[in-house]
A and B are shown apart, each in its own frame.
Chain A
Amino acid sequence: MTELRLMWRNTRMVVLCAISAALYAAVLVPFKVVPLIPGVTELRPANAIPIVCSFLFGPAAAWGSAIGNMIGDFFGGVSPGDLFGFFANLFYGFIPYKIWEIISRGEGPVIRSPWIAVKYFAACLAASVLCADFVGWGDNLLALRPFSLLGNVIIFNNMASAMLLSPFILAAVYPRVRRGRMLYEELMPEIKPAPMPRKTLGLALLVAGEVGAWITGNLLSTGYWTPGFLPAWMAAAPYDKSVAMIVSPFMLLAVVGLCLM
């Protein structure tokens, strides 16, 4: 994750970060297509932008995704839960290119074969699940909304845009950006990739953490699972304390995995 800090020294990366953020917000605000939960979330074509930018601009896209989502929130009002939204979107923009570095074997993210499509799907799904986990976990910790509400809707929302829109945008812009030598690897040659075994361990921890958080978050927040080892006052609705006790370690595991990648 050191590149998330290093990129701030590079003026081009700072500009690309602002551009990613502005593009995300510019598509986010006017093009809210279909409300999924009125007042909470809607089907957002803009969610395709962080995925596309991630493959192109790497760490700049991660910060851009976080800032772009913040700008979108500022257009419609913010709440303490948006702090979790900021970091969730940071991960949403950070994970795709990090996973792609591990599983791509040097190929570009433009879908030219079924096998690339599978890998692309996996990278987007991992990003969407951690993003959803983080927002669901945060909102349930604050007892604003149950994990199972946002935790599932966001996965669906992100994946819909990532699968229906991003591949087409990538196919159009990736070759041009590569020809223009504006991919993050070219702009920041100082980024030294971690050794493969370490990155693979990081990926395993990330997947274990986010899947664990998603399963336990859903079970706890719907009341289907009441852990016997927790005192009754902790395991009661709105389940904020049980989510804090059980889901938080999985979230930590996922973040440790990201740090290793």
Chain B
Amino acid sequence: MKTTLYIERDSFVHRLHPTAKVFGLFVVFWSIYWVDNPLALMPLALIVLAIALMMGAWENVYRFRWFFILIIVPTMLTWMLFYRVGKPLITLPPFYVSEASLMFGFGRGLKVGALVLASVLFLSGTKVEELAVGLSRLGLPYRLGFTITLAFRLVPLFMESALTVVDAQRLRGYDFDAGGPFERIRRYVPVVVPVFMGALRKANNMAMALEARGFGRTHRPTSFIEYRMHPRDAAAFAFLLALGAVSFWIYYSGLGAIPTG
């Protein structure tokens, strides 16, 4: 089972400096945040989709297609419970169905969907090491960045070990799907305990290996991979700043708002 969404490609997004990628994610989040009206949000979602196509991340977007629908519909229905604004079109308790609540609910659903889409794009073109470098350039302490990277590296190991235990228990006739939801949760005890103890056995050796390599001797350790800024990164920064400014202008001018009449 894959534990990251990263897809190996040589697109312009993949070649960007990690800081530009992290900044890009922040700007897209910012841009989506300011716009409420689904019609005003559409062009932004289309830009993100176009970038997905250009950078070869379509397989991840396609993989998440049901997830996007599952995010948009419940978010929309939830807001139709609580956003009681405008003249009701039909009576459908407990939902409040007005033009404003439909627009608001759909807008929120689309917004959450667009946020996830942007993050899928980011993760499709960014390795874990790049994420750690990007965040450390933005001020994240080295040890925290290292821990995040190490944890990402350990996940497949533990997951594999968990799946092995599941298979071993199934071979013995243990049924993980029997019973109600609570019984099904309780049935994971025989999986978690061996995985847990196996992980702890690694902890001491790992700590010794790290200290033997001088971990913690300096706050500014050298890195095997050096990332340099290029003119394309400056162009990306300029584009992102313009995108952020336009989105804020859409909000400020009222074009991104939902009519509440």
Residues of B within 8 A of A238 (CB): 79, 82-83, 104, 108
Of A115-123, A170-178, A194-202, the segment with at least 4 beta carbons within 8 Å of chain B is A170-178
Question: In whole angstroms, how far apart are the Cα atoms of A37 and B64 in the complex?
Answer: 17
Of A9-17, A96-104, A130-138, A251-259, the segment with at least 4 beta carbons within 8 Å of chain B is A9-17
Across the interface, do B158 and A26 meet the contact criterion of CB distance under 8 Å?
yes
Residues of A within 8 A of B143 (CB): 8, 14
In chain B, residues 57-103, which have Cβ atoms closer than 8 Å to a Cβ of chain A? 64, 67, 69-75, 78-79, 81-85
Residues of B within 8 A of A111 (CB): none
Query: Is A231 on the interface with B (CB-CB < 8 A)?
Result: no
In chain A, residues 155-181, which have Cβ atoms closer than 8 Å to a Cβ of chain B? 160-161, 164-165, 168-169, 172-173, 176-177, 180
Query: Is A154 on the interface with B (CB-CB < 8 A)?
Result: no
Question: In whole angstroms, how far apart are the Cα atoms of A221 and B79 in the complex?
Answer: 10
Residues of B within 8 A of A165 (CB): 185-186, 188-189, 192
Query: Is B115 on the interface with A (CB-CB < 8 A)?
Result: yes
- The contact of A180 among B123, B151, B200, by CB within 8 Å, is B200
Number of residue pairs across A and B with beta carbons under 8 Å? 218
Residue of B nearest to A16 (CB): B203
Across the interface, do A11 and B202 meet the contact criterion of CB distance under 8 Å?
no
Question: In whole angstroms, how far apart are the Cα atoms of A4 and B148 in the complex?
Answer: 16
Flag B148-165 by CB within 8 Å of A: 1 or 0 each.
Answer: 101111110111011100
Query: Is A205 on the interface with B (CB-CB < 8 A)?
Result: no
Question: In whole angstroms, how far apart are the Cα atoms of A165 and B192 in the complex?
Answer: 9
Across the interface, do A75 and B5 meet the contact criterion of CB distance under 8 Å?
yes
Residues of A within 8 A of B155 (CB): 22, 25-26, 29, 71
Question: In whole angstroms, how far apart are the Cα atoms of A77 and B210 in the complex?
Answer: 31
- The contact of B185 among A63, A78, A80, A161, by CB within 8 Å, is A161
Report A207 CB to chain B, min CB distance, Å.
27
Across the interface, do A77 and B200 meet the contact criterion of CB distance under 8 Å?
no
- The contact of B196 among A18, A23, A40, A221, by CB within 8 Å, is A23
For this complex, into which size category does the number of interface residues on chain A fall? 35 or more
Query: Is B39 on the interface with A (CB-CB < 8 A)?
Result: no
Query: Is B119 on the interface with A (CB-CB < 8 A)?
Result: yes
Q: Which B positions have Cβ atoms within 8 angstroms of A?
A: 1, 3-5, 29, 33, 64, 67, 69-75, 78-79, 81-85, 104, 108, 111-112, 115-117, 119-120, 122-123, 141, 143-144, 146-148, 150-155, 157-159, 161-163, 181-182, 184-186, 188-189, 191-193, 195-197, 199-200, 202-204, 206-207, 210-211, 215-216
- 8 A-B pairs closest in CB distance: A39-B70, A22-B154, A26-B158, A77-B116, A21-B151, A79-B115, A39-B71, A18-B150
25 contacts between A and B (CB under 8 A): A11-B216, A12-B204, A12-B207, A15-B210, A19-B200, A21-B148, A21-B151, A23-B199, A27-B191, A27-B195, A31-B162, A33-B181, A33-B185, A39-B67, A39-B69, A39-B73, A39-B74, A75-B4, A75-B5, A78-B115, A161-B185, A164-B182, A182-B200, A182-B204, A238-B79
